[in-house]
Chains A and B, each alone.
Chain A
């Protein structure tokens, strides 16, 4: 049974650019959630996907979008990057009960 894997681990982008982050969910998990974690804070919910459909969204603007694929892997896309988008982005998969998190992608916007 593999865990949740995220790529890339680190990324530096320029303000205004677009970025795509990727996540492979744990085997058997059909739900994927994305979180943004700023330094010194707890993770903040961006959105969740269940069976390829968005299944809930946090307080993030539309330039944050996502996809889930038939194998339950997922992408997070962020357009028109802003300096405040610099954070650790975490992906979590779940089936019933608890969540399993990946190691995250550290995004720096300069």
Chain B
């Protein structure tokens, strides 16, 4: 059974810092991994989708890497801004569903 873990559960940083969010999964036989952002009480916004054949994906200040063999992915956020404050979730396919981590709640202080 696929299990997804995210560390840390919460993170508070001053504006401008670079930061890394971690995601680990137990079954490395995945065909993609997706990172989402969730604002309080809202739905999920897709940030990056990494196919299993890729090592990383970039979108603006975001960079996600995938290491299938070790069961890990990282989301790197450069030059953080207060508007980046949200919960970040990673998810991997498992049978017919997506298996999510509990998320990392990020607060960027002005």
Contact = CB atoms under 8 A, between A and B. Distances in A.
B46 A98 contact: yes
Contacts of A92: 44, 98
Interface in B1-31: 4
Tell me if A's interface is mostly helix, strand, loop or mixed.
strand
Interface residues of A, number: 25
Nearest to B51: A97
A3 to B, nearest CB: 10
Interface string A84-110: 000010101000011111111010000
Q: How large is the interface on B (under 10, 10 to 19, 20 to 34, 35 or more residues)?
A: 20 to 34
A35 B41 CA distance: 14
6 contacts: A6-B43, A40-B102, A42-B100, A43-B98, A44-B100, A104-B42
Interface of A: 6, 33, 35, 40-45, 48, 55-56, 58, 88, 90, 92, 97-104, 106
B98 A88 contact: no
A33 B97 CA distance: 7
